[in-house]
Amino acid sequence: MLNPWRLSLLSRLDTLGTVRAVAKAANLSASSVSQQLAVLEAETRTHLLERTGRRVRLTPAGRMLARRARAILDHMDTVEAELRGLGEEPAGLVRLGAFQSAIHTIAVPAVNRLARSHPRLQIELLELEPHVSMPALRVGDADVIITTTDFVEQPLGPDIDLVPLATDPIVLVVPPGHPAAGRGPADLAAYASEPWAFDIPQSYMANLATRLCREAGFEPRVIARFSNYMMTLQHVEAGLSIALLPGLAVDRRYRVATRELATPVDRSITAAIRRGSAPRAAVDLVLEAIRSHPELPL
């Protein structure tokens, strides 16, 4: 019989690309992952892996099994949840991943409502930025994610179902006493000499902010990088920098001013689940709670 844990490792290899990345995600050594995949080959009596130099890649049979494995594992999760909640209200674990600014504005309120209405439902909330949430969904580390379809570095595919949630404008954030505060839409070219606070390299907002500044004709002078929007807002509030942030990320507790961009830029906020996974009442409840949030900027 196929071992679910080994199938999960094979599925991760298909998504993450290297044994080392699979080992890190699964908290194992690379040699342990290789050994378990070798056992899976023996169990299936099929050549699943091939070496190219120092790397390992999936054979056509390996890719087929890896992609079927995700559906098999999803179905097993569904059956287990249905058995636990047979004849009762939806129960079980749902792993909800969301990017930082959606955590406190969308995810936490949804989880709070579900905790009151469905106490047997267990929701594990994960902070996952768009560049990591889609791989997490694909390998089964998350059941539902709140992400953006505008992050081109993580292309969509036929294995993903999308549920549109909202649109969120990108805004210029400046200190309250800044000369730009209180005016109309901002032309970024006017801020070429300003000090900027950016997100960490290769993140969605770091890539977007860099692209927008370059399209405006300048290379931004980045003096700070934060993985937390609250720290960015604190830095701007202190008058040390300006920033480009999603509207949802601008917490009203911070004394900053925001301006729309002269050339508007919006991001599409979307929930996503794996296509083809068996229906789960618990996942459906989480999706509905996210969609019914009263303050989404539709």
Chain position carrying tokens 């790397």: 55
How much is the pLDDT for 154?
53
Q: Are residues 135 and 276 in the same domain?
A: yes
Q: Is residue 207 part of a domain?
A: yes
How would you class 285 by CB atoms within 10 Å of its CB: exposed for 0-12, middle for 13-18, buried for 19 or more? buried
Residue span of the structural domain in which 199 resides: 168-266
How much is the pLDDT for 86?
56
**Rounded CA separation 181/23 (Å):** 49
- Cα dihedral 35, 19, 26, 44 sign: negative
**Rounded CA separation 121/95 (Å):** 11
Chain position carrying tokens 């600014």: 101
* Average pLDDT over every residue of 137-159: 77
What whole-number percentage of the chain has pLDDT above 90? 35
DSSP run (H or E) holding 259: strand 257-260
What tens digit of pLDDT does each residue of 2-47 get?
A: 788 888 888 888 888 888 888 888 888 888 888 888 888 888 888 8
Mean pLDDT of the chain: 85
Quick one: tokens of 177? 């006493």
Q: Are residues 159 and 215 in the same domain?
A: no
How much is the pLDDT for 50?
87
Quick one: tokens of 164? 């549109």
Contacts for 214 with CB less than 8 Å, ≥ 6 apart: none
Q: Are residues 113 and 69 in the same domain?
A: no
- Cα dihedral 207, 213, 219, 225 sign: negative
Q: What CATH number is associated with residue 200?
A: 3.40.190.10
Q: Is residue 53 part of a domain?
A: yes
Q: What CATH number is associated with residue 9?
A: 1.10.10.10
* Average pLDDT over every residue of 207-212: 94
Q: Are residues 107 and 27 in the same domain?
A: no
Phi-psi label, residue 53: left if phi above 0, alpha if psi -120 to 50, beta otherwise: left
Q: Are residues 137 and 192 in the same domain?
A: no
* Average pLDDT over every residue of 228-254: 94
**Rounded CA separation 163/267 (Å):** 14
Within a 10 A sphere around the Cβ of 289, how many other Cβ atoms?
Answer: 22
Q: Is residue 258 part of a domain?
A: yes
**298 — pLDDT class (breaks 50, 70, 90):** very low
147-161 burial by CB neighbour count: b if 16+ within 10 A, else e?
bbbbbeebeeeeebe
Contacts for 190 with CB less than 8 Å, ≥ 6 apart: 180
What tens digit of pLDDT does each residue of 102-126 get?
A: 888 899 999 999 988 888 888 999 9
**69 — pLDDT class (breaks 50, 70, 90):** confident
What whole-number percentage of the chain has pLDDT above 70? 89
Q: Are residues 184 and 225 in the same domain?
A: yes
Q: What's the domain count of the chain?
A: 3
Look at the chain and count its residues. 298
* Residues forming beta bridges with residue 269, ordered by sequence position: 148, 166
Q: Is residue 161 part of a domain?
A: yes
* Residues forming beta bridges with residue 51, ordered by sequence position: 56
